[in-house]
Amino acid sequence: MNASPLPARHSVPTPDLSPDLTQLQQPVEPLTPRCTVQQAGERFREPRHAALLSLPVVERGKVLGCITRHDLLMRVYMHPYGRELHGRRSVATIMNADPVILPVNTPIEAAGKIIGARIRRPITEDFAIVDADGTYRGMGIVLDVLHALETRLGEHSRELERACRHLQSSQNQLIQSEKLATLGQLVAGLAHEINTPLGYVQNNVEMIRPLLQAAAEWVGAAQALMQIGEDAGLAVAEACVERMAEASQAFEPTLFRDIDVLLEDTLHGVTQMADLVGNLKDFSRIDQRRSDDVDLHGVIDAALRIGGHLLRKRQVDVRRHYGELPLVRCAPAQINQVLLNLITNAAQAIDHDKGVIAIRTQALGGYAMIAVHDNGRGIAPDVLPRIFEPFFTTKPTGQGTGLGLSICQQIIHAHGGRIAATSSAQAGTRFVVALPLGGRPPGSPA
């Protein structure tokens, strides 16, 4: 008979495997039908059986019945002459010939139901545990079943909670990816709307510039002619010369050159706007499906351009230490989102004017590593383990959803990669993203 320990109260749950009676089984040496009632009473007084309500009566491995403390007390010891009447008789004469017998592989929940139906109040007996073929294995204590059921309930509710959290976070990821898709559509519309005025503004300015040069040329020639007219004192042309002199006052000597500079500036502004729209397009990549072999440095640069306004606002010095990276198979729009999130978080963690964000890349052990390191205020040690939890946020209510990093983690995991953070108040925070160079295309398109 192998001794099994009592069930651990905090066992690791195995959701796919319902626990049975193995854990509850107590190795109890059974009585034989040849034992007397007297001997059964002595057996009950042994300390090793202190927790048992009943002892099994077994012959050739088969359970014949159980004798309970309660029966012994009520029918033998508390009965006048009970010991004299029953003491020498076989234990079988006063045992319960129909005790609760359960196969060892009965799930705890089922055992609970059977015991609840079979055992009467007050609880006076325990139950016997047998093999699949009915061979006696040991005893089970009713209270243990209750405890085990309680533990199971706790586990169930924790599992439910986990499932619920998982559901919520995938639901939120869905909402986020919906948002992202909507954002892509929005960006496409926006790009189109902005590029249209940019198109004609740029074209118009470009058409005006050569014309303006021709006009400058013309005015110069006219002024020369006017001078000749004045010098020669041609009466015929006097009215004309006067008109020209009048009109000529509008043209300072440097005017045309200055205006051309202004037009050049205008074109520069238009180009800048076009670049900005281009960056937005790169970011949302509505013109692309599925994953691609991507130059991660280009993705980092795109994220830096998008986050540029925040970095400039906080006067953060961005230092890029790019190593050698091969092309990496990934969904660029998603990786873009991750990097933008990390860069934005880094910028927001900096509340002094010597802010530095260092971005390092290298290929290491079959992974492309991207490290984003800021010299900001750092993450408190008690907060650090929780940063990837969905809905966990240190920002005031309404400021952060607490989803950013959990989505980042989900995206990176979907790529078969890893994301981790280290942080201290002195050294700031360092996030490292590792993407497999072999590439595992994400299961679902962005």
Partner 1 sequence: MSKPCLLLVDDEARILRSLALLFRTQYEVLTTTDGVEALRWVRERIVHVVVSDQRMPGISGVDLLRQIRDHSPRTMRILLTGFADLEAVEASVNEGEIFRFLEKPWNAALLMQSVAQAAAIACAEFAETGARTVATVASARVLVLDEDPATAALMASILPSETPVTACTNVESALAHLGEADYGVIVAEIRHGSDDVIGALKLLKQASPGTLAIACSSLRDGRILIDLINQGQVFRFLPKPLGRELTRRAVMAGLERHALLRREPIRVRRHAVEAPREISLPGRVMDYFRRIRDQARQRA
Footprint on this chain of partner 1 (rule: CB under 8 A):
188, 191-204, 206-207, 270, 274, 277, 281, 286-290, 292-293
410 phi/psi in degrees, rounded to 5: -60, -40
Spatial contact of 136 and 58, defined as CB atoms under 8 Å apart: yes
Using the minimum distance from each CB to partner 1, give the nearer residue, 278 or 416: 278
Nearer to partner 1, 190 or 222 (CB): 190
Cα separation values, 233 from 220, 225, 236, 245, 311, Å: 20, 12, 9, 14, 67
Q: Give the shortest CB-295-to-partner 1 separation in angstroms.
A: 13
Residue type at position 156: H
CB of 299 to partner 1, least distance (A): 15
In angstroms, the CA 191 to CA 203 distance is 18
Q: Which is nearer to partner 1, 74 or 194 (CB)?
A: 194
Q: 274 or 371, CB closer to partner 1? A: 274
CB of residue 368 vs partner 1: minimum separation in angstroms? 18
Comparing CB distances to partner 1, the nearer of 70 and 297 is: 297
Find tokens 């159980």 and name the residue: 66
Residues with Cβ < 8 Å from 303, sequence gap 6 or more? 283, 336, 339, 340, 343
- Crossing angle of helices 142-232 and 404-414, in 10° steps, is 100
How far is residue 8's CA from residue 224's CA, in Å, rounded to a whole number?
107
Smallest gap from residue 213 Cβ to partner 1 (A): 16
Q: Rounded to whole angstroms, how far apart are CA atoms 282 and 297?
A: 13
Q: Which residue has the tokens 């198979």?
A: 329
**Closer to partner 1 by Cβ: residue 259 or 274:** 274
- Smallest distance, partner 1 to C-beta of residue 270, A: 7
Distance of closest approach, residue 197 Cβ to partner 1, in angstroms: 7
* C-beta closer to partner 1: residue 191 or 407: 191
Q: Which helix H or strand E contains 62, and what residues bound it? A: strand 62-68
Sign of CA dihedral 213, 218, 220, 221: positive
Between strands 127-130 and 428-436, the pairing is: unpaired
**Shortest distance (Å) from residue 332 CB to partner 1:** 10
Residue 340 CB, shortest distance to partner 1, in Å, is 20
Q: In angstroms, what is the C-alpha Rg of the chain?
A: 43
Q: 3-state DSSP call for residue 244?
A: helix
Instruction: For residues 324 and 359, give the distance between their C-alpha atoms in angstroms, rounded to a whole number.
Output: 13
The CA-to-CA distance between both ends of the chain, in Å, stands at 59
DSSP string, 348-362: HT--SSS-EEEEEEE
Nearest approach in angstroms of CB 205 to partner 1 is 10
Q: Which is nearer to partner 1, 191 or 335 (by Cβ)?
A: 191
Residue number with CB closer to partner 1 (284 or 406)? 284
